[in-house]
Amino acid sequence: MPSRLRLYLRKHQKYAPIIFFICGFLWDSLTLGRIDRLYDRLVLATHLSSLTLCLYLFNLSGDGRWKETFFEAYEEYLPLAIQFFLGGLCSAYVIYFSRSVSLTKTLSFFVILVILLFANELLKKRISNKYLQFSAYFFVNFTFFTFFLPVLVKTMNTFIFLVSGVISLTITIWLINFIYEKSPSTRKEMHRGKMLGIIAGIYLMINTFYFFNLIPPVPLALEQGLVAYKIEKAGSSYSVTYHREPWYNIWDSYNTTHAYTEKSDVYVFTSIFAPTELSKKVAHRWKWFNPNTEEWKVTDRIEYDITGGRDGGFRGYTYKSGVIEGHWEVDVITGNNQIIGVVNFEIELVDSTYKSSVVTEMF
C-alpha cells in the first residue's frame, strides 16, 4: 500500500513543489551563516552531491532501470528531491551574497540567482527537460566551487576562480556523458552536442561576468559601510562617530548626507567578512562625481590588508581632507579591482556653527 507520505503528496501534488521550495529555503536561512564554517561546507557539499545522485537516478528511471530495486519505491519523489537540493543551493548562495551591504555593482549576477531560486518552484512540470536540468546543475555547481575553493586553499585570485570553473565544467560534462551513455531515453530526448554547447555558453557567460566585475568577489562580503565624522581605535574596537538615521527609517541606518566643515576630515568605515585564515589586500577607492563632465573622478586609492575569521568582519577605515561638495562614492575593492561593495554619500559644506545630531558607536 502507498505510504502516508505518498498519499499526501498525491492529494496535494499541486502544492508539493512550493512546500519543498519553502522548506529548502527556510532550512538554509535558519542554519547557514558562515561559508568557512565546517557545518556550512558540509551542508552545501551534501546538497550538491545529493543533487548529482538524484539527477542520475531520475534520468535513468525513464529506462526502467530501477524496476524491482530499492529505488523503485522512491522514483516519484526524485523530481521533488531535485527541487529541494537545487533550491537549497540557490537559497544558500542568495543568503551569502545578500550579506553584503551593497550589491549595486554586482546586482545582475545576484538577480540571476534570485530568478533561478524562484524559478525552481516551476520545475515540477519542466523537470523532464534535460537541457534545463543540466543547465541549472552547472550554474549551481560553478557557483559552489567559487565559494568552496577559496575557503579550502585560504586564498582567492583570478587563478583560483579559473580553476573553480574548470572543476565544475569537468564534473558537469562527465555527468552528462555518463548519463547519456547509460540512458537510451536520454539519448532520444537530448542532443549531446546542443547540451554541451549550452554548458559552454553558461561557462563563458559566468567568466564574462567575472572579468567585468559583475560577480561579487566571493567569499568576501561588505557587512558594514558608513561615512563618519571621527574614528578612533579603542583597544580592540573602533569608536565611530556618525549621523544615524531615526529608528523608523528602515532603508538607511545612517545619513548619507555628510555635513562637512573646511579643514576637517571625512572618514569611511567598513567591515569586510572574510573566511578564517584568508588574507587579502583590499582598497578604498574614493570617487567624486563631476557635474560638469557628468563623470566619476577617482581622487584616491588607499590600500590595506585584511585577515578573515572575525564574526563581525575585518574592520578598517580610510579618511580624506579637503573634499569637494557634491556626490561621492567609495568603492571597496580587492587588489585586482573586484568590487566588494560601495559606500555612497553626499558632501554638504556647512560653517563651523552648524550643529549635527551624531552618535558614537563601538564596532
pLDDT of res. 1: 40
The grid coordinates of residue 254 equal 545612517
Instruction: Look up the pTM and report it.
Output: 0.77
Residues 6+ apart with CB under 8 A from 336: 157, 158
Residue 285, beta-bridge partner list: 301, 331
Dihedral sign from CA coordinates of 70, 76, 80, 86? positive
Which pLDDT belongs to residue 52? 95
Query: What CA–CA distances, in Å, run from 84 to 13, 42, 74, 210?
Result: 15, 16, 15, 28
Q: Is the dihedral of CA 125, 129, 131, 136 positive or negative?
A: positive
Dihedral, 133, 134, 135, 139 alpha carbons, nearest 10 = 110
Residue 32, pLDDT above cutoff 80: no
Q: Per-residue pLDDT for 49 more than 60? A: yes
192 — pLDDT class (breaks 50, 70, 90): very high
| Residue boundaries of the structural domains of the chain | 4-211, 221-362
| Residues linked to residue 211 through DSSP beta bridges, in sequence order | none
Is residue 297 very low, low, confident or very high in pLDDT (cuts 50, 70, 90)?
very high
CATH number assigned to the domain with residue range 221-362, chosen from the 4 options 2.60.40.1930, 1.20.1090.10, 3.30.200.20, 3.90.550.60: 2.60.40.1930
Average pLDDT (265-272) is 92
d(CA 4, CA 23) in angstroms, rounded, equals 19
Own/partner contacts of 234-239, CB < 8 Å, gap of 24 or more, are 234/362, 237/362, 237/363, 238/269, 238/315, 238/317, 238/362, 238/363, 239/360, 239/361, 239/362
Asked if residue 5 has pLDDT above 80, the reply is no
C-alpha cell at 15: 502544492
Q: How far is CA 343 from CA 35, 96, 246, 298, 339, in A?
A: 24, 19, 19, 14, 11
pLDDT for the residue numbered 72: 72
Alpha carbon distance 330, 341 (integer Å): 9
Q: How far apart are CA 267 and CA 252, in angstroms?
A: 18
pLDDT band at 288 (very low <50, low <70, confident <90, very high): very high
